[in-house]
């Protein structure tokens, strides 16, 4: 090998705000053909906001928000922040028996009432009838919002529509990557309807949605078994196993420390154009070695 050109490749990458941990990563990056993107915080801004609260069964909006925010005080999920922010300064009841259901939601007991908050799969598992929310769910999800449902005492009481807009640079960056011939895949725990809506806006080729945190690395393995050379781009703690499994793990700067420590490449700028820069530098460096 010619270590000198690799070293200059690593240096050149740094000039573009791309930190490469080891020479091998640059080499592997040069033969990647598939890019797998996390949705929240990678394609999107990662600062979701509650835009609509729809209630059912005569529930007051203020009551629904109180329950939801009380539960989410115990969670550090980006969706939890959206809900507690919407509740503002209001003093909240305490939650007993708080539980996180990874990749699905949260539950607990508030004022003697069993309260459950999360995605539709979670509601279905807990035998909560969600039929009356079908229309709002579809409308909100198809427009790119993530619907989060709230049940109290076994009954659906509210749906929170939470929006996390695409990062301003994402669509242009993905267009560039698509033109370079990479296959672009979204990997997310969010529901398929919301995932497809965001994928359309971003210019993603293929969506793998509704994946539990444990399933993300498995999804990468399946792509590798199909003969693909995979780079995974993510920012969250729950992306770490997939970042480790991928041929090249790329962490968004400003993401979780665990993601950055696991990945072999870190983007200093929170801009997916840096992915194209990194791959171009990797290819140029390896060409120079031949």
Which residues are known catalytic residues?
A: 38
- Contact range with Mg ion by CB under 5 A, out of 33-41, 69-77, 198-206, 224-232: 33-41
Residue of closest CB approach to Mg ion: 41
**What sign does the dihedral 151-155-157-160 (CA atoms) show?**
positive
**Residue closer to Mg ion (CB basis): 144 or 236:** 236
> Which residues lie across from 38 on neighbouring strands?
187
Q: Which stretch binds Mg ion (CB under 5 A): 10-18, 62-70, 89-97, 231-239?
A: 231-239
Token pair 């922040």 is found at 81
Phi/psi zone of residue 254: left (φ > 0), alpha (ψ -120 to 50 degrees), beta?
A: left
- Residue 253: how many other CB atoms lie within 10 Å: 17
Task: Give the shortest CB-89-to-ligand ADP separation in angstroms.
Answer: 21
Query: Does 40 help bind Mg ion (rule: CB under 5 A)?
Result: yes
Q: Identify which of residues 44 and 59 has a Cβ nearer to ligand ADP in the complex.
A: 44
Nearest-approach distance from CB 252 to ligand ADP, in angstroms: 13
What is each CA distance from 126 to 6, 102, 103, in whole angstroms? 54, 15, 15
Angle between helices 273-289 and 3-15 (to 10 degrees): 160
Residue 139 interacts with which of Mg ion, ligand ADP, none, CB < 5 to 8 Å by class: none
- Rule CB under 5 A: is residue 38 a binding residue for Mg ion? yes
- d(C-alpha 229, C-alpha 250), whole Å: 14
Which of residues 164, 190, 235, 247 is near Mg ion by CB under 5 A? 235
Query: In the complex with ligand ADP, which residue's Cβ is closer, 197 or 286?
Result: 197
Residue placing its CB nearer to ligand ADP in the complex, 68 or 286: 68
Q: Which residues bind ligand ADP (CB under 6 A)?
A: 39-40, 72, 75, 77, 79-80, 103-106, 117-119, 146, 148, 188-190, 213, 236, 238
Please give the structure tokens belonging to residue 233. Answer: 């781009």
235 binds, among Mg ion, ligand ADP, none (CB under 5 to 8 A by kind): Mg ion
Q: How many CA atoms lie within 13 A of 232 on its CB side?
A: 30
Cβ neighbours of 231 (radius 10 Å): 28
Count of alpha carbons within 13 Å of 182, Cβ hemisphere only? 29
CA–CA separation, 159 and 116 (whole Å): 12
- Match 């209001």 to its residue by tokens: 90
* CB closer to ligand ADP, 99 vs 287: 99
Task: Choose one: 37-45, 82-90, 141-149, 270-278; the region binding Mg ion (CB under 5 A).
Answer: 37-45
Indicate the residue whose CB is closest to ligand ADP. 189
Q: Which is nearer to Mg ion, 66 or 167 (CB)?
A: 167
Structure tokens, 172: 């242009």
Q: CB 1 → ligand ADP: shortest distance, Å?
A: 37
- Residue 79: name its binding partner from ligand ADP, Mg ion, none (Cβ under 5 to 8 Å by kind): ligand ADP
Which one-letter DSSP state was computed for residue 210? S
Give 255's contacts (C-beta < 8 A, 6+ positions apart).
41, 42, 234, 235, 236
Q: Which residues bind Mg ion (CB under 5 A)?
A: 38, 40-41, 235-236
């Amino acid at each position: 090998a010619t270590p000198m050109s690799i070293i200059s490749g690593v240096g050149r990458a740094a000039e573009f705000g791309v930190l490469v941990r080891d020479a091998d990563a640059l080499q592997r990056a040069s033969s990647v053909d598939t890019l797998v993107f996390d949705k929240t915080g990678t394609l999107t801004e990662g600062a979701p906001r509650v835009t609509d609260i729809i209630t059912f069964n005569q529930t007051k909006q203020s009551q629904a928000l109180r329950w939801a925010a009380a539960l989410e005080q115990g969670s550090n999920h980006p969706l939890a922040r959206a809900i507690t922010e919407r509740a503002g300064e209001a003093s909240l009841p305490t939650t007993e028996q708080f539980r996180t259901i990874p990749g699905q939601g949260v539950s607990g007991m508030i004022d003697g009432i069993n309260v459950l908050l999360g995605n539709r799969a979670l509601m279905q598992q807990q035998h909560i009838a969600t039929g009356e929310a079908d229309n709002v769910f579809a409308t909100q999800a198809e427009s790119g919002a993530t619907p989060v449902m709230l049940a109290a005492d076994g009954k659906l009481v509210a749906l929170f529509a939470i929006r996390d807009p695409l990062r301003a640079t994402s669509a242009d960056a993905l267009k560039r990557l698509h033109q370079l011939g990479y296959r672009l895949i979204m990997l997310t725990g969010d529901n398929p309807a919301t995932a497809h809506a965001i994928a359309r806006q971003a210019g993603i080729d293929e969506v793998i949605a509704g994946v539990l945190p444990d399933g993300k690395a498995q999804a990468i393995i399946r792509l590798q078994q199909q003969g693909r050379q995979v780079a995974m781009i993510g920012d969250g703690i729950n992306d770490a196993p997939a970042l480790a499994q991928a041929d090249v793990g790329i962490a968004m700067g400003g993401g979780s420390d665990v993601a950055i420590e696991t990945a072999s490449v870190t983007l200093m700028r929170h801009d997916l154009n840096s992915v194209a820069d990194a791959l171009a530098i990797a290819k140029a460096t390896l060409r120079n070695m031949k």
